[in-house]
Structure formats: structure tokens, C-alpha cells
Homo-oligomer: A and B are copies of this chain.
Amino acid sequence: MKVLHGVDEVVQWRTTNVDRRFQSSGFVPTMGCLHEGHLSLIRASKQENDFTIASIFVNPSQFAPTEDLDKYPRTLQNDLAMLEAEGVDMCFVPNVKEIYPQGIPLHVDEQRGPFVSVLGVSEQLEGRTRPNFFRGVATVVTKLLNVVFPTNAYFGQKDFQQFTVLKVMTEELFVNTKLTMMPIVRDSEGLALSSRNRYLCAESRRISTAIYQGLEAAASAVNALDPGAHISRETLENRIGKIWEPYVSSGDFEVDYVSVAHARSLQELDDVSRDADVVISCAVYVTDREVKSTRVRLIDNVVLT
């Protein structure tokens, strides 16, 4: 596996190695700290493309000054070994200056250079607690897609809103890359894999499986509907709440949001029928049972189509 650090090197590599007219390339952008969720994207890419390219870059512009940029887990050597074992052809590992030539202060007011905003799907849900998060994501993905110029790119469903933002962005900016969303990979008990799970002890991780159980209870209620029947968002929220309640009472969970929204527009819905295009999603702060000062924000979702 080729490991490249410079934009020019990557452009050189792909123009030399990939003839885009006859060969396809698949791209999996990551922030490192890889787990089976990332590997499922790599495997999808391997299956569907002649070349598979990954990137590892912890993108400062999607972190707020108050967030965990400095503490974000970095496990580069291990990540590269995992990608190599999967047969990745090239991994792009740029430094911050390479991607942001003018630098990238975390305070938005101080930022200079080009930024991509996707209006209409970035402000709600994750965007409410993280107002510039999707601007950072859309900007870095635009840069990476221009450098790597892949036929396909793969993203996980766990970050459903991120996929929606990037889908609107690539479709309406006419980016020459097709995006594919792959299902959430979960541990044996149902917890969605996330690089941030490692902040939690085993017991808190087990408790956190209730997050998914709550979403599943809501999804089952929708799936059990007769054709033409509706269920209110309130009923769905109650289903979820019943499963989460013990952990809210015990102080393990603090619910940031529960959303029942249209899966394309991300507009909230008042009620849902069985044939609607719906995403039920949430963010929950989990307080670690061993280290009480550790509080991790986990997200999850189920998509009903």
C-alpha cells in the first residue's frame, strides 16, 4: 500500500495509475482510529472498484473550539496496518497545512479561504449543537474528492445527516463522484461502532446498547402499522423513552435529541406511515461509570424506507 502525504503526490499517483475512463476507483475518507465500520466501507469499495483509496485526516474545521480536536484518538500505525491488510492501494495522510494552506483557526471568524456550506440540511439535528460541523465536513470532503477524484466514495449510515449533506452537495455541485451509504456496523449487543466508544468502560458500553434498542422499538412500531395507518411522533418518542428511562434516571444517559424526520429533507414529521421515507435518529450523552468526568456523545439512527 502506497502512503502519500502531499496533494501533488496524490494527483500524480492517480493520474499515472488510474485511467478513469476504463477503471473505477473507490474512496473511503476517514479520521483514523479505524474499526469494523470503516473496514466495511473499504470492503464495499474493494468489491466494486479497480482501485481503493483511503484517507486519514482529523479535520480541524469540523471541530468547535470547545470540542475534542486535541483529544481525538489518533492511532496512525495501527490504522495503516489495518488498511494494508484489507488490500487498500493508496492511503492519503496529509497534514493540516496541506489541506488548509492558510491555516485553520477553530474560531470561524478567523478562518480564511474557501468553505462549502450546504443550506437546508446542515442546521438541524447535529447542526444544532454543532453549528459549523457540516460546513467543515463539506469543505474537507470537497477538497479530498478533488484531490483523489474517485469514481465512488463510501460513507457509513451512522452519520446519516453527514451523508445527506454530502449527497446534496455532490448532486447539486455536480461533483464527479457517486456516493454510497453502507449500513451501520454494530457490536454483538447492538451498539453502533464509533471511534468514541473507546472512551467508555465495558459496563457503560453495554448500557449504551439501550440507545439502539430504543430506536428499534420505534422502528418496530412503524413496521407493524397497517397500510395507510399512521403513528404519531409522540407515540414513537414514548416507545423510545420507555427503554431509555432507567438509564436517564440513573444518570447514565442525557438525551440531546430524538428526531423523527423525512429521510431526504431532514424535516421533522408529526406522524409516520409504514411507507414513508423516515429516519429516526438521536444523540445521547453517556456518562462513564468508571470515570465520572468522562461524558461521551453517541449518535445512532434507523432508516425506514
Residues of A within 8 A of B (CB): 7, 11, 15, 19, 21, 100-102, 111-120, 138, 142-143, 146-147, 149, 168-169, 171-176
The docked-state distance in angstroms from the alpha carbon of A19 to that of B101 is 31
Name the residue on B nearest A121 (C-beta).
Answer: B112
A-B CB contact pairs (8 Å), 14 listed: A7-B174, A11-B176, A19-B21, A102-B120, A111-B119, A112-B119, A113-B168, A114-B116, A114-B118, A114-B168, A114-B169, A116-B173, A117-B117, A143-B172
Stoichiometry, copies per complex: 2
Establish whether residues B147 and A114, one from each chain, have CB atoms under 8 Å apart when the complex forms.
no
Q: Which 7 A-B pairs have the closest CB atoms?
A: A112-B120, A146-B174, A114-B169, A113-B172, A114-B118, A147-B174, A114-B173
> Which of B7, B118, B172 sits near A101, CB closer than 8 Å?
B172
Residues of B within 8 A of A115 (CB): 116-119
Establish whether residues A113 and B118, one from each chain, have CB atoms under 8 Å apart when the complex forms.
yes
Dominant SS at the A interface?
A: mixed
Establish whether residues A176 and B146, one from each chain, have CB atoms under 8 Å apart when the complex forms.
yes
> Which of B101, B111, B172 sits near A114, CB closer than 8 Å?
B172
Establish whether residues B120 and A113, one from each chain, have CB atoms under 8 Å apart when the complex forms.
yes
Nearest CB on B from A131, distance (A): 15
> Which of B112, B113, B147, B173 sits near A146, CB closer than 8 Å?
B173
Nearest CB on B from A248, distance (A): 35
Known: A113-B118, A114-B119, A116-B173. 12 other contacts (CB 8 A): A15-B21, A19-B21, A100-B172, A111-B119, A112-B119, A114-B117, A114-B168, A115-B117, A143-B174, A146-B173, A146-B175, A146-B176
